[in-house]
Structure 1
Amino acid sequence: MTDQAADEPERPLPGGFVNTVVRVGDTVRRPATAASGFVRDLLRHLERCRWTGAPRHLGFDDRGREILTFIEGHVAWEEYQPADVRSDESLVAAARLVREFHDLTAGSGLAGDREVVCHNDLSPKNTVYRDPGTGLRPVAFIDWDLAAPGARVHDVAHLCWQYAGLGPRADVDEAARRVRLIADAYELADRAVLVETILWWQDRCWRGIAAGADAGEPAMMRLRASGAVDGVRAAHRWTAGHRPVLQRVLA
């Protein structure tokens, strides 16, 4: 494609620890990875389905970076956010947005022999919010680099961990209620393994960051230096300690 925005200035987008992402005009430029081909095919599939919950993939620029459409709105990458971001209404909207995405990939060649394609990094930091007049609500997900075939419960578990705020600062009864709210809004059938899958994500996350940092990967080193390993391990201990309460509410 002709890169009509090539002469426009580049503006770094905030919030990224892993990749350097910039805005150029109405586009976003991201470094290509080994998964870029799959991401391109996925985003083009969603575009053909007329789903607006993801950016459009426009090709690659002359530096080999992915070119994506820029989605206007509020990205909740900072620690402290407006109350609307973590409201019940936003939780329900996020769960339903994930369900829409999953249903569009179920049975597709992209999912292969798995249930669906999963985003695998769902969090408010990777969500674009807009206010339709009733408060900020999630309208799209960004940062699809980790998307891959998987099980529905994988994304729902990540959603519960990140959006319900599971960790030492959470009130367990309120957190359990929010986990149940997400599962109900998604209409998740496979709830017996939801808490175990949350724990699997948390364990996998802190170990992955630590291993990458030990191997000298700059992005993982930055994450560990920011306290991410200790934070995720604390969240894992909290979830494990309150597993009976979470499971009881889901049952």
Structure 2
Amino acid sequence: MPHTVRAVVARAKGEPVSIEAIEVPDPGPGEVLVAVQACGVCHTDLHYREGAINDDFPFLLGHEASGIIEEVGEGVTNVAPGDFVILNWRAVCGSCRACRRGRPWYCFDTLNAAQKMTLDGVELSPALGIGAFAEKTLVAAGQATKVDPTASPEAAGLVGCGVMAGLGAAMNTGGVGRGDSVAVFGCGGVGNAAIAGARLAGAHTIIGIDIDAGKLDLAREFGATHTIDSSS
């Protein structure tokens, strides 16, 4: 039986978002139903509302989230009801050339939930395949990663977007290695995650560059060895 929940929806380009009652299906094969505990606000959500991603309105916003697995569909083995999870953009296939080479971030055949959540019978487009500005959301099982249940839901949710974007930029795309020198321009959430990734990868010199002194203070906490205030 579908679940009726409250959610934040962008109905049309540039219009104010609204809280609506939407329908979320029971999970089908390879899908999970997640009771959302926390969801961060990412600038990407604004891009969706402004039509800068695509024109597939209405959008169910939100993607930087954590929650509790409520139900699982047939064949799901990686998570179980009651598990605390973070949500990620897409489930990698595990079998394409990129996945077989150990580079799943380049997966050619990522997955989202096959079933659609709806508003008044109209299919919703979930932001980044998640749509977590809702009391519950439906995702592919591979989009849910089990984490320590004692973690703060608000902090854990950030891992699914800003943290993995920054860490991945440094450790995967950038290929930072031991002894390297790295400069990171912009020390917000993603930038500081890149600084942390560079530190984990063993970089020797990590320079954080920003116009905000407070962000530069945070950059040092995340591992910057040097900072530059580019406002002066």
TM-score past 0.5 threshold: no
Which structure has greater strand proportion? 2
Bigger relative contact order (CA 8 A; separation at least 6)? 2
Q: Give TM-score, length-normalised by structure 2.
A: 0.28
Q: Give TM-score, length-normalised by structure 1.
A: 0.27
* Bigger radius of gyration among the two: 2
